[in-house]
Amino acid sequence: MTDTPGNRERASVNPKLRRRSTLLMIAILAILLGGVVYLTFTQARFECKIWMEYKGGSEVRTAASATEEDSIRSAVSSACATLANGMAESISCSGTPPQRVECREL
């Protein structure tokens, strides 16, 4: 790179701009990371453990979510994924109430 007046001018401005843009990027990343952490830890307020029986099989599953109902629904869906064969059985299994449910607030 040759030492011309235009290059000297850019070189003297670049450190300030670079520092400002670096600080701005760090601030944006910190805000985004903080938002992700906040949403991750505040989403799950309830954890439910269910005991499910369907067509001779049984499964125990645990799920966490913002509401007790969503936690139960998610755990039942997870158990039915293992217990049922095919879409029709999966729908039927999901409509079957769990044998036992234990929920706690996180």
Residue 11 and residue 57 in one domain: no
Residue 31 and residue 68 in one domain: no
Residue 36 and residue 51 in one domain: no
Q: How confident is the model at residue 76 (pLDDT cuts 50, 70, 90)?
A: very high
Cα–Cα nearest to 84, from 95, 74, 100: 95
Range of the domain at 7: 1-43
Segment 52-67, tens digit of pLDDT: 999 999 999 999 988 9
- Measured distance CA(37)–CA(40) in Å, rounded: 5
**Residue 104: predicted pLDDT:** 95
Evaluate if residue 95 carries a pLDDT over 80: yes
| CA-angle at 56, arms to 54 and 62, nearest 5° | 45
When divided into structural domains, the chain yields a total of: 2
Residue 51 and residue 38 in one domain: no
Residue 58 and residue 83 in one domain: yes
Phi, then psi, of 96 in degrees rounded to 5: -85, 130
For the chain, the straight-line distance linking the first and the last C-alpha, in angstroms and rounded, comes to 61
